[in-house]
């Protein structure tokens, strides 16, 4: 199966991965959430080749995750800014960071402190239920067909992860 086909799946994870499921893309977004706006900055901080960075940026612009804004004429040069759609990816990046902080810290502690300005705490991000504010865990959730799958005629697809979370006893 090619990614073009995966993208057509009625699955938000597959669709999201078709847009951002790539290491260099996610590193570019990491920088876009910081202060990097210009091609050379982005390329230097991410460390990929010009061709890789140009390709990934073009796709993110095409997908509406970044927008190009001119900052100079003759020759015209552009900065790359996160759109609202792009800023909505923050939980993906922070979840990756939080996982790396705990599981890949090399024994030296986390590289960065995440400071929550509103309360002043050094925060550990937690994924919570918006209804009751409690943390979501693998055992406390289940997935069932939603509006898009229920509207399909055939059997729901993909099948696998509708079956519920893994049994904690294995």
* Residue 19, phi-psi category: left (phi > 0), alpha (psi -120 to 50), beta (remainder): alpha
Contacts of 44 (CB under 8 A, 6+ apart): none
Per CB under 8 A, the list member of 4, 73, 130, 153 interacting with a copy of itself is: 130
Q: List binders of a copy of itself among 2-31 (CB under 8 A).
A: 3, 5-6, 10-23, 26-27, 30-31
* Residues between 108 and 127 that touch a copy of itself (CB under 8 A): 108-119, 121, 123-127
**138 in contact with a copy of itself (CB under 8 A):** yes
- Using the minimum distance from each CB to a copy of itself, give the nearer residue, 21 or 55: 21
String of b and e for 31-61 (b: at least 16 CB within 10 Å)?
bbeeebbebeebbeebebeeebbeebbebbe
50 binds a copy of itself (CB under 8 A): no
The residues, ordered by sequence, that sit 6+ positions from 152 with a Cβ below 8 Å of its Cβ are: 10
Among the listed residues 70, 132, 153, 155, the single contact to a copy of itself using CB under 8 A: 132
Residues in contact with a copy of itself, total (CB under 8 A)?
Answer: 106
Binding of residue 62 to a copy of itself (CB under 8 A): no
**Judged by CB under 8 A, does residue 45 bind a copy of itself?**
yes
User: According to the binding rule CB under 8 A, does residue 94 interact with a copy of itself?
Assistant: yes
Q: Which residues in 119-128 are b (16+ Cβ under 10 Å) and which e?
A: eeeeeeeeee
The three-class DSSP label of residue 63 is: coil
Interface with a copy of itself (CB under 8 A), residue from 70, 75, 103, 155: 103
């Amino acid at each position: 199966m090619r990614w073009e086909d995966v993208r057509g799946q009625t699955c938000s994870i597959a669709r999201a991965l078709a847009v951002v499921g790539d290491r260099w893309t996610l590193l570019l977004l990491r920088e876009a959430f910081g202060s990097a706006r210009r091609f050379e900055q982005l390329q230097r901080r991410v460390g990929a080749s010009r061709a890789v960075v140009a390709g990934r940026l073009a796709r993110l612009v095409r997908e509406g995750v970044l927008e190009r804004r001119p900052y100079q004429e003759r020759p015209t040069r552009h900065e790359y800014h996160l759109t609202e759609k792009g800023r909505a990816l923050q939980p993906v990046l922070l979840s990756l960071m939080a996982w790396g902080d705990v599981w890949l810290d090399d024994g030296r502690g986390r590289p960065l402190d995440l400071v929550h300005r509103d309360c002043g705490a050094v925060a550990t991000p937690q994924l919570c239920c918006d209804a009751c504010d409690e943390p979501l865990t693998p055992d406390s959730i289940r997935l069932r067909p939603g509006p898009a799958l229920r509207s399909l005629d055939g059997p729901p697809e993909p099948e696998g992860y509708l079956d519920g979370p893994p049994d904690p006893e294995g």
